[in-house]
Structure 1
């Protein structure tokens, strides 16, 4: 692959379909965007790895939402790694990049940095939220954490909440190419059977962890055979094929699925992007009284707020905030 080809595929999500077997999917490569997501914070390597996995899943899943929609992943647990949150903002217009941001909350005193990263989340839930914009009720789906990885949790989510057989192959980590600085790279493939299953499928014979549905519970006959074959083929992928730079995503799809008739569509570029602003902070504080705001005010007479996603720091005069503001809230 030439340098130009490599750059063309970095920070993109490529949707595709396997026409002969009714399976769709996406290939994602994250490079600079992942560095930008993680450089906003000073996480230990274990936490960085979990945020990287969540961001990659978000890119793969989020590519399907419509323009101007927002898709969020939330992973919450009772362990030291309490929360991983990601947002994917659909492009404002066709041809524009989507935006991704992510952060984690953890207890630095109790987290075991030598343990399996997923184990530090503990028991909890995996959730997908979709915001369709003003005047539309947000969609939310939740499943328990299961399977030993965030990718496995996402597979369980789609089987249980959407009844769509889904499979991920992901890799991520720090990499160094000759003559270049160390940087984060991630790559992955998502397979998903086209929607056909009944949304009211019985779960008495569910074979997933803790009695949850799994892919084999949803399909049968030729569909099951085709799904099994595609899953086995995806299992043959290796890490270097996923993150490059030795093979383009289009070449990877052909190597894996040439007999299944892969058809690719337009690639979606992604970039780091945060939507925080002082105006939004002011709006969030507009429900508080002057007394409530007084409890949030620092000794120097200012009220401050920090964005957990990008680290932006806002300093405001509390007398201009809340529903008892002394001066008009002009965002200044």
Structure 2
């Protein structure tokens, strides 16, 4: 039963709607995806926990927003953990999986292994960026508040979108029979239907920031409170799994709210880095600039922070003054490229 449950629901996001409450939601479980995200770097446990939380939030939020291309989460602070960045790439076609990647930048010497992970970020901001491939990406930013990344995400939706939103997440290192220890995560996202108008009250968060409890009034408020009370009964082991199937968990939590499920979305680890993309990013530099990037071995190197890929280039093939093609053949003058004005 456990094996069948894992096959069916690991690395999956399942959209649903609670018809009685006018609440929509997502329930997700990550296993192999999360392990692949984390195994790219030897993160300390305190950093791993935050990357796991951010990856789970990214899966839930990314699937909830109709995208053509990419949704990104960025958490920046002045503490030992300086940056957490995750990306969600929407499926390229019906039936294809979505892709997730993530990484963290931190100062190992300043980390306190006994402190709560969120406290290691310090003061900073939580940002959601949506890039649909045309025009400037949309960017929404709110201050870090609430004691967890999920609380920051709730504040973002209340403050920037005026949408009451709730997250309940669980993530931990798990040991399954016959397998080694590895990370698993699961979570639920609840959100009022956007056509239900909210009534903003005075924000109860730090500095007057809105939280999901500060929005709505009347019957909508009652529906939202009822759905949240039911979600409060979920246990971490139910979220993480794998013994409880996602559909069974929805029925257990919300059977009184008439839950309706939609097509599940598979998610995989995926990175868009490539040699061509690195070359394109360096095309704006002159030969003099490229020389400053050249190592003693006569190469320009680049590493992908997300997947760990390592690239090595002949400096003569880079920049808008390149003299050779990527394959080492001489470049004709007519092939020279110039940076955009």
TM over 0.5: yes
Give the superposition deviation at 1:129: 0.4
Cα deviation 1:54-82 (Å, max 9, x = unaligned): 00000000012335410000000010100
Alpha-carbon spacing, 1:181–1:148, altered in 2? closer, same or farther (3 Å)? same
| Residue 260 (structure 1) aligned to one of 253, 257, 275 | 257
Partner Cα separation in structure 2 for residue 157 and residue 93 of structure 1: 29
Partner Cα separation in structure 2 for residue 228 and residue 38 of structure 1: 35
CA contact (8 A) 2:200 2:216 kept: no
2:114 is aligned to 114
Partner Cα separation in structure 2 for residue 296 and residue 30 of structure 1: 38
2:337 is aligned to none
* Secondary structure, aligned partner of 2:82: strand
* Secondary structure, aligned partner of 2:185: strand
* Secondary structure, aligned partner of 1:233: helix
Match runs of 1:249-288 below 5 Å: 249-288=246-285
Partner Cα separation in structure 1 for residue 231 and residue 145 of structure 2: 21
Give the superposition deviation at 1:23: 0.3
Question: Which runs of 5 or more residues in structure 2 are unaligned?
Answer: 330-341
CA contact (8 A) 2:30 2:185 kept: yes
Alpha-carbon spacing, 1:290–1:74, altered in 2? closer, same or farther (3 Å)? same
Give the superposition deviation at 1:187: 0.4
2:158 is aligned to 159
Aligned residues: CA RMSD = 1.6
TM-score, scaled relative to structure 1: 0.96
* Secondary structure, aligned partner of 1:314: strand
1:21 is aligned to 21
Per mean C-alpha deviation after superposition, the further-off stretch among 116-125 and 171-180 is: 171-180
Give the superposition deviation at 1:245: 2.0
2:142 is aligned to 143
* Secondary structure, aligned partner of 2:84: strand
Give the superposition deviation at 1:216: 2.6
Per mean C-alpha deviation after superposition, the further-off stretch among 217-226 and 1-10 is: 1-10
1:326 is aligned to 323
Partner Cα separation in structure 1 for residue 136 and residue 23 of structure 2: 29
Count of paired positions:
329
Are 2:220 and 1:223 equivalent residues in the alignment?
A: yes
Per mean C-alpha deviation after superposition, the further-off stretch among 265-274 and 321-330 is: 321-330
2:94 is aligned to 94
Question: Which runs of 5 or more residues in structure 1 are unaligned?
Answer: none
* Secondary structure, aligned partner of 1:60: helix
Per mean C-alpha deviation after superposition, the further-off stretch among 51-60 and 207-216 is: 207-216
Cα deviation 1:1-36 (Å, max 9, x = unaligned): 442232110000000000111100001000011111
Give the superposition deviation at 1:178: 2.2
CA contact (8 A) 1:14 1:265 kept: yes
Give the superposition deviation at 1:208: 2.1
Runs of at least 4 residues of structure 1 off by over 4 A?
329-332
* Secondary structure, aligned partner of 2:167: strand
CA contact (8 A) 1:278 1:331 kept: no
Cα deviation 1:226-281 (Å, max 9, x = unaligned): 11111111011001110112211111111111111100001100000000001000
